[in-house]
């Protein structure tokens, strides 16, 4: 399974830490993030992660900026992406199980590395339940279609 990862300048250390963790779990990582501390624009990296997932180049994505919010907004502008910002493991787990999230976002300035690792692990280990949740996921995707 392939994971697209992207980050801005605020999240290089966090990205590298999570990338190593994800690879240790047997995933292949495609790095779309910056490795420069020069100020850069998170939308560029959010779109790259979103496109990789939407186009099938990657199965899932992880995107990190200062708060996770900006990069998640950029990811969610790509058709077919359901990016969620998570600052604790429970929300990450349920975002996969109930919302079929396909991109995980968090903030390098908001959470520490160990929390990011716990969040990532719960998210990767969770499986979409479908069933009663599918109708709602379909409704969300219908909103996207109506607003192209």
Q: Looking at the annotation, which residues are catalytic? A: 65, 98
Give CA–CA dist 83/69, Å, rounded: 10
Q: Is 107 exposed, middle or buried (0-12, 13-18, 19+ CB in 10 A)?
A: buried
Mention every residue, 6+ apart, whose C-beta is less than 8 A from residue 135: none
């Amino acid at each position: 399974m392939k994971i697209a990862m992207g980050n801005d300048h605020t999240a290089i250390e966090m990205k590298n830490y999570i990338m190593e963790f994800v690879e240790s779990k047997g995933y292949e990582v495609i790095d779309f993030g910056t490795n420069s501390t020069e100020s850069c624009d998170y939308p560029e990296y959010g779109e790259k992660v979103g496109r990789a997932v939407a186009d099938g180049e990657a199965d899932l994505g992880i995107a990190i900026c200062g708060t996770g919010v900006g990069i998640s907004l950029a990811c969610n502008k790509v058709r077919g992406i359901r990016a969620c910002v998570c600052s604790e493991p429970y929300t990450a787990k349920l975002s996969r199980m109930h919302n079929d999230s396909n991109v995980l976002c968090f903030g390098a300035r908001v959470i520490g590395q160990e929390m990011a690792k716990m969040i990532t692990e719960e998210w990767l280990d969770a499986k979409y339940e479908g069933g009663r949740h599918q109708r709602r996921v379909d409704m969300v995707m219908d909103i996207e279609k109506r607003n192209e």
